[in-house]
Amino acid sequence: MNKDKGLDDITELAEQAKVVAAATGRDEADVLADLLDDGIANNSHRGEEKDLITQLREAAELITTVQSINAEVSENTVLNGGENKTEVLVETTLDGDIVDRAIASVHRKAENIKKIAIILIPVFLLLTGGSMEAFGMTNWFGSDDESSNGDEYHIEYGGCIEMSADNYDSQASWDDGSCYWDSGGNTGGGGGPPCDSAWTYDDYSYTQDSNIYIEFNFFDTQDCDIEMAGHFQIYLYQNGNYYNEGYIGDVNFVNFITDFVSFTDLEGGNYDFSIEFHPIECEDEDCDHGSKYTSPHRPNFYIEEDCMASPSYDNLMLIANSDDLTIEVDFQDTNNCGVDIQIMISTYLNKGYQDTVDYDEIQEYWISESGITSIKIENYIGLKDLEDGDWEIEFRFKTINTNTTDYEDCCQISNEVVIDEIEDIVYGCTDLSADNYNELATDDDDSCTYPPPEICEINLFNIQIGTNETHASVGFDLDCGYESNDLEGYNVTIQFLVYDINSTNSSTPYITYEVCVHYIQGWVSDNNYLTLTDFVSNNTTHYDFYWYAIWTDGYGEQQMMEQKWLNREMNS
């Protein structure tokens, strides 16, 4: 080894140690030993790595000399690359991970981050050779605190920026996922963000006959995963007054529940109802009701009154036709309900009982809900081929197929008629203009037939369909004939149906339909409409639509028209 060269090296290291010692306040001999170890002032000669607290403490000691180091470095031509330049390399004993954790700790715990940032910045300048950007810092700080050279410093760092979190940091520039709440699990070791439940109802209730079926969903629109326990109370009102109530008890669920209750055999009237959920809140085996949740829906349903038919008759008339008896009578229902009846007749000859034509031997009759229903009873055994004498009958009837108990009315004695070998009556058509005029007929039996009147043909002048997101409407103009006329028209039944696509030939029924009847006469502009509402479900956008017109023409034959719109897109 060249001794002169070795001496030069030691001399150079000694000069470096002197500068570093002056800059850092370290002992010159300690710095020289450090440089002799690996040529770098990094405390590598001291053996084991120091703990974080010791390293931070030593880093803090550098703060008081940073400004003077900066000045000396800027003024020393040797350190700034002049002749006989001496390289001085100062490194920290803090490795990258330790620096990162130390900075994060300062960010979270500092009460006045601006002041601490001003203290730390010179240290970082020293440790990084002046590259503040390596730690995400700029030279703009945005406060009245300034460094000695007049520059302002600003630290940008990540933290919790969610104001509802327990560790919200108003100085953080971006969210680093560290937010936590005491209420549950989330990143950062704490709980998840608070969730405000919003409980509401969907109602699917409907009525059938005299029953109301209440079906509903109760759910949290925010899905906060809160377990609920309690019971539902359903209150039914008739014509605005309390009528009945239902109870669904001991329910437990999270976020969502579907339930139902029914009210059957209801009286006629207008009904509505309300639903309440009563949560049960327990603590230390002590349970009590919480705040109730009331449905916003008050659906209205109408239950028809049971119609109590009250039939009666008048103008009971017994007529003798040769050797037969005919009974004519007029019925009406005073309550306008309409009802089926059966009739029983007992015959008397010269005041003596002869025979009975029982209920099941005579056809049933329908008494119309309005107006007079005239009935003629004849050609039954017991009323035919009778012997001569004075005849009268005892008349009775009973109701059948009613919603209430059947009623029987008895008895009225008819007028008296005589059968005495009189000439037989011949019934037939007595109208000379009829096709079937019977010149032998003595009494008209309403059997006359006539040439059919001139008839017109039903035609579809125009038809249009329109749809939106939830409704479909069809407008149509049906005419009788193709020009103005006074011909007799027809009652035409109109049907408008909607199906799922390609389901008309399967077992799947239609979704819904509407039906109406129009009397179509003449060639006139008379647009009519049918609308299907609220049938769209499951985000389905295409459906099959069918429209039919059905009637019986002047020849007694049934006719039909069909229009269809397949794979029709809604809102088009």
Residues 360 and 463 in one domain: no
Question: What pLDDT shows up at residue 31?
Answer: 77
Residues 325 and 282 in one domain: no
Q: Is residue 184 part of a domain?
A: no
Which phi and psi angles does 29 have, rounded to 5°?
A: -65, -40
CA distance linking residue 532 with residue 123, whole number of Å = 78
Q: Is residue 395 part of a domain?
A: yes
Evaluate whether 178 touches 193 at the Cβ level (below 8 Å): no
Distances from the Cα of 402 to the Cαs of 275, 291, 330, 331, 407, in angstroms? 36, 49, 20, 17, 9
Residues 374 and 435 in one domain: no
Residues 402 and 434 in one domain: no
CB within 8 A of 264, min separation 6: which ones? 210, 211
Question: What 3-state class would DSSP assign to 556?
Answer: coil
Residues 541 and 440 in one domain: no
Residues 469 and 565 in one domain: yes
**pLDDT means per 10 residues in the chain (572 residues)?**
56 77 77 72 64 51 46 45 44 45 45 42 48 44 45 68 85 85 50 82 92 95 90 94 93 94 90 94 76 91 84 93 92 90 94 93 92 94 91 93 77 90 81 93 92 85 93 95 89 95 78 94 91 90 95 89 94 78
User: What CATH number is given to the structural domain containing 259?
Assistant: 2.60.40
Q: Is residue 65 part of a domain?
A: no
Residues 400 and 435 in one domain: no
Q: Is residue 172 part of a domain?
A: no
SS3 content of the chain, % helix, strand, coil (to 5): 15, 40, 40
Q: Tell me which of 399, 430, 451 is where a domain ends.
A: 451
Q: Is residue 251 part of a domain?
A: yes
Q: Is residue 6 part of a domain?
A: no
User: What CATH number is given to the structural domain containing 500?
Assistant: 2.60.40.10
At residue 533's C-alpha, the angle toward residues 516 and 267, to 5°, is 75
What domain range includes position 504? 458-569
Question: What pLDDT shows up at residue 564?
Answer: 94
Question: What pLDDT shows up at residue 547?
Answer: 96
Q: Is residue 487 part of a domain?
A: yes
Residues 533 and 468 in one domain: yes
Residues 509 and 438 in one domain: no
Residues 339 and 350 in one domain: yes
CB within 8 A of 215, min separation 6: which ones? 203, 204, 205, 206, 258, 259, 260
Domain tally, the chain: 4
CB within 8 A of 224, min separation 6: which ones? 195, 196, 197, 255
Q: Is residue 66 part of a domain?
A: no
Question: What pLDDT shows up at residue 5?
Answer: 53
Residues 235 and 320 in one domain: no
Residues 492 and 520 in one domain: yes
CA distance linking residue 495 with residue 518, whole number of Å = 11
